[in-house]
Amino acid sequence: MLREFMRLILYLLFRLLTRLQVTGLEHIPPAGACIVAGNHLGILDGPLLFTLMPRKDLTTLVAKKHQRNPIFRLVVNIAGGIWLDRFILEVKPVQQVQEHLQKGGLLGIAPEGTRSRTHYLMKAKNGVAFLVGKVDVPIIPEATTGTEDAVPKLLRLRRPKITVRFGPSFRLAPIDIQDRSGSRQRNTDDIMCHIAALLPEKYRGVYADHPRLKELLEAGYGTLVSP
């Protein structure tokens, strides 16, 4: 009850205080395990994803450093987020993720691991590929723009324009047991290039010239979502 009330309040605030444009929500399945993987530009990204999901079984990975903020900690706990140390591989959060996905839940994750200070895509960590390797589920890429400077604009009483695009789901190639590290790097790059294909060119950062991104763009992946 409290979770849904908070979700409704946040949704109304985003609609009232921002110029929000969302496309591709039809790619989110109504049920079944899947991962939404997106870029991370600002502090509003997590709450925004939470409000947009048409499902009640969404959980997300959240850096433990945010536990120091009592309000943020309260919001994450109410929303059922999973606290994670970005620098240490802990057993408990990995088990929580596996159990959530095995039960058919929806998981939100930012492969970059932290907010991009440059506002462009940074080199992602391989953690998401490690998790998907444990539980093979479809991945839905998500690309957000406009949250990088949304808070300063709101403080100046301006309504920031925020755009969120969800792309068609895809699955990663199996992990090669002879080259686990290389396989995870390949899969991580694949995830990030799917996100990059949904972003304007200036946001693509370190993946702008990646061969996999060029393949996706040539195949028209970025145009599969209406602008």
For the chain, the domains span: 30-223
Closest listed residue to residue 129, CA positions, set 87, 199, 176 = 176
The Cα–Cα gap between 91 and 19 comes to: 40
pLDDT in tens, 109-125: 999 988 888 899 999 98
Distance of CA 130 to the CA centre of its chain: 16
Characterize the bridge pairing of strands 82-84 and 34-38: unpaired
pLDDT in tens, 128-184: 777 776 778 999 999 999 999 999 999 999 999 999 999 999 999 888 889 988 988
Looking from the CA of 210 toward its CB, the CA atoms found within 13 Å total: 25
